[in-house]
Structure 1
Amino acid sequence: MHLLPAGITIVLTMLTCLLGALAPARRAGRVPAIEALRTTSRSRARLTKWRIALTAMGVITTVVIVVAAMSAPATASSPVTIAFYLGLCLILTIHAAAPGLVPAIMKIWSLLLTVVRWPAPQIARRSAVSRSQISSATIAPLAAGLGFVGVLIGTMNTFQAQVRTVGVTEINVVDSWIIATIATVMLIGCSVAVVALTSRHREREFALLRTAGAAPATLGRIVLLEALLYVATALLLATSVTLATILTLAWLGTRAGLPFAPQFPGLTLAVFAAGAYLATTAAVALPAHKALKANLRASLSPE
């Protein structure tokens, strides 16, 4: 009996990987040979028809959940259910709109780096913004993972804070922590994989920076700042989703006579974001390290 959940998980994982690889394979098959052989990519992040449809469905579903929340009966369980579904719907909507939403958000908030006139912040920002398709594919899973752990833990903590006033003791949330950890680690792994798959192109990029006179310390700062751009953008999206969820739950709780006690899981998000930052930094640093150790001629060669 214990093997059944494991078997279902393996099958679902395989189907998810196959379905996830189908769309990129179809797009790759349609690329003309001359475009595929270019050493520089001109691709930009864009919303496909399917993503636009999914984003529209997500927005409509979010509105329906909000309307349902206003008219829902003030029972003990419905506020938690409604708030949790609202958070999941926001996560999925952001993920669907990621190719258009993520680059715009990163480009706007990263303007703070333009205040610093050092070369490393400017190069890191330009690199992340110009590679919008890869950036969105990197940030979207990070935002989904951090958003999921924020929604799940924030919902549990807020509900616990509310029901303590009516004499309910601590609720067992071990299962929630296990689910949140596994899901977040898997999504962080997806982001790291996206960064790692571009290592050859990035090795050439860092080699070009070396020929332009960038010192190893400058390359190190670029790596740290670029990874920070990815994780900070994901954390910004996750924070907005988490706040919307816990504030909705706290407001719904007041209708049932419970106190308004939103509990933002700041420390939890910070710990998971720190782990994501370390993993993303390692993935970005790999081609930089190769560019520093390898011969410049070999790194700059097209093959």
Structure 2
Amino acid sequence: MKASIISAMILLLGMASASAFERQDLQKLTETGSCGGCDLRGAKLQYKDLGDANLKGANMRDSILKQINLSQAKLMEADMRRSDLEKANLTAADLEYAILQDADMEKAVMTGVNLRRTDLRSADFDGAEMENVNFQDADIRKANFKRANLTNSNFSNAKVTEVNFKRANLVGAIMTKAELNDANFTRADLKNARLQETDLRHANFYRAHLTNTDLSGARLSNASFWGADLSGANLEGVSGLNQLQLDTACGDEKTVLPGNLSISECAP
């Protein structure tokens, strides 16, 4: 019995040390504003001003980073899994190849951020400001972008399966060849978005705005367009689309449809 208790204490101590940051690394960051490759696991850095900091390859798992200023910071290859970045400022930061799996980015300001090839699985971007963000080749599966502003952001070739875009602003977004099957676009604004050759099987476009959206060559099997506005949308060469799907949507004389399909005109 005593041996079991001792073994458990050793295990707990080992887990605690494994999740603790290196104090000298935290001191270096505090004094210089940079700490590439540092161990900052679980560090409490909320409200800190680390604009333009070099944190390339840093281990920042489980860190508290609420309202931190990381604008223009170099965070390439950083491990930020499960970190709390609520209301953080990451304007123009570079996070290429970083890991943000399960991170809390609610209401973060991320305009112009580079998230190319970044792991964003199950991250929460609810209400985040993300105009002109580069998501190319990123893994975004099961992430939450509810009410996020993603105007003119680029999702080309990204894995975006089962992502929540409910009420998101995706005006002018580029999603060419992205994997968007099972994505939720309920009431999302996709005006002038580019979704050519995109996988949209089982996607939900309930009351979405798809005015002048380019969906040419997209895969639309079992996608729902109930109440969606497809005025001026281009659906040339799509696959898996049938008349029943269009019967619940509306468009106009500029809507381009394949084959003998038709669509009702939207009410003025």
TM-score by length of 2: 0.23
Higher share of residues assigned helix: 1
Structure of greater relative contact order (alpha carbons < 8 Å, 6+ residues apart): 1
TM-score by length of 1: 0.21
